[in-house]
Amino acid sequence: MLREDDWNVWYDTLLRAFGGMPEASEKRELEGRLTEHDRCLGAWDDDQLVGTSGAYTFRITVPGGAAVPAAGITMVSVAATHRRRGVLTSMMRRLLDDVRAKDEPLAVLCASEPEIYGRFGYGLATHRLSVEVDTTRARLSVPPGTDDVRLRYAAPAEVLDACEAVYARQVPRRPGMLARQPGWERLELLDTERHRDGASPLQCVVAERDGEGVIGYARFRVKPDWDHSGPKGTVLVSSSEALDPAAHAALWRFLFDLDLTSTIVARGRPLDEPWVQLVNDIRRCDLRVRDELFVRLVDVGVALAARTYQVPVDVVLEVEDAFCPWNEGRWRLTGDAKGASCERTADAADLVLSVRELGAAYLGGVGLATLGAAGLVREVRQGALTEASVAFGSTVAPWLPHGF
Ligand SMILES: CC(=O)SCCNC(=O)CCNC(=O)[C@H](O)C(C)(C)COP(=O)(O)OP(=O)(O)OC[C@H]1O[C@@H](n2cnc3c(N)ncnc32)[C@H](O)[C@@H]1OP(=O)(O)O
């Protein structure tokens, strides 16, 4: 529990661990408001604060569309003077015990470094696509209906509610997305000098169709540049959502065609980004995959029963979980596209795996068969790995549009 008086020293301790750059006052103020002070931890050495961490009370979309309670572990730092003495380990112990006590079946986080959290049972469940497109060469062939979509510029704050309505309709459609908590929409509009990094203020274009209102939006900045051969500006895309293929194509064609620019940079797109299928020259897009969301099943039975499965599945999982031993043992998972149950069983195991692999596969973005091929899932009953892998899959790539 963080006392109001401790907030500034707590936040400064956190910032110092990330290099000590000061935050713009509007960002600091917003972070202060979004932080759940009753879920923050501090580690103290006498009167010296040497560790910070906390949790947000989220709901995350899982395959099938349910919004499942998940603790968003965040703001983890240990003072460099006290590193590698187990401070993070003791804070994670406390955090996960608290998550369990609150009956949240999942803990999720974005890692500063991917190596840190596997030891605590977090598996890498979603990835993000980063692109740097040479728009002097890459062009989009758009689907029918694209020209019926109207685009207009709008001040980002003025159309925020309409954009949020689009966002809210996307949340149940894609595993990994977080139901927006009050206040979080303001993060999307933060526009400090640090955010701009030499580019323009945040701009917004909304997509509309007669009778339907706003059906998509793109927020971006433009960084102008010129050399001896002419203009070579960059479009920096910060967020974009669209409700249908035509709106998506219209927005991205606009971004590709902006005058005086020759590059689009977008850092956090879903792996199944549709415009990638429309581009004439994929080699000009420089697609890179990065880690995004790590998932930890805190209550294996509740978590596995909360999602649905692409095809009927009946499998006994033997789960290893040294850090949260209450999950260890055998679980019978029975489910299909309508629902599932997951109960303890004394039956023989079909698959043996650690809770980390279960977390990686949970949102349907990483195949159990892929993990099995890496030697991380052991198949005891022949055929069980393929059956379970197909059932756990998702037709939509899981994705988290923003970090936390
Ligand atoms: C969700 C988030 O908020 S992500 C942000 C994480 N924070 C940062 O990256 C800020 C800068 N770094 C730090 O503050 C710290 O170095 C932390 C928080 C990453 C680690 O804190 P520590 O107290 O040093 O970790 P702790 O001593 O509990 O280490 C536990 C184990 O993890 C390992 N470990 C810890 N950090 C790292 C790392 N960055 N890379 C690789 N291994 C690591 C330790 O070596 C140790 O391994 P061992 O058990 O085999 O000996």
CATH at 175: 3.40.630.30
Sheet strands (E) in 345-402: 351-354, 377-379
Do 187 and 253 fall into the same domain? yes
Annotated ligand binding at 86? The verdict is yes
Determine if ligand 1 sits within 6 Å of the CB of residue 77: yes
Specify if 115 maps to a domain: no
CA distance to 27, 157, 198, 292, 370, per residue, from 194 (Å): 10, 19, 8, 22, 39
Annotated ligand binding at 136? The verdict is no
Q: Which atom of ligand 1 is nearest to the CA of 18?
A: 10
Do 276 and 323 fall into the same domain? no
Residue 316 contacts residue 332 (beta carbons within 8 Å): yes
The CA 86 to ligand 1 mean position distance, Å, reads 8
The domain containing residue 358 runs over which residues?
300-392
Residue identifier of the C-alpha nearest atom 44 of ligand 1: 84
Q: What is the pLDDT of residue 317?
A: 98
The label of the residue with tokens 């159309």 reads 159
Cα atoms in the 13 Å half-sphere on the side-chain side of 214: 23
Specify if 11 maps to a domain: yes
Do 261 and 313 fall into the same domain? no
Specify if 116 maps to a domain: no
Q: Name the band, by pLDDT with cuts 50, 70 and 90, for residue 4.
A: confident
For 170-188, what is the mean pLDDT? 96
Q: Which two tokens stand for residue 46?
A: 């006498």
Do 156 and 88 fall into the same domain? no
Annotated ligand binding at 381? The verdict is no
Specify if 24 maps to a domain: yes
Do 174 and 213 fall into the same domain? yes
Q: Which two tokens stand for residue 49?
A: 């604060």
Residue identifier of the C-alpha nearest atom 51 of ligand 1: 84
Specify if 398 maps to a domain: no
From 317, 285, 289, select the one nearest 303 (Cα to Cα): 317
Specify if 177 maps to a domain: yes
**Most informative mutation of 15, 73, 88 for ligand 1 (most atoms within 8 A of CB):** 88
Specify if 400 maps to a domain: no
Residue 131 contacts residue 268 (beta carbons within 8 Å): no
- Rounded mean pLDDT of the chain? 97
Do 171 and 271 fall into the same domain? yes
For 32-46, what is the mean pLDDT? 96
Quick one: DSSP state of residue 284?
G
Of 104, 128, 147, which marks where a domain is finished? 104
Q: What percent of the chain has pLDDT over 90?
A: 98
Specify if 222 maps to a domain: yes
Q: Considering its fold, how many domains does the chain have in total?
A: 3
The CA 114 to ligand 1 mean position distance, Å, reads 10
Determine if ligand 1 sits within 6 Å of the CB of residue 222: no
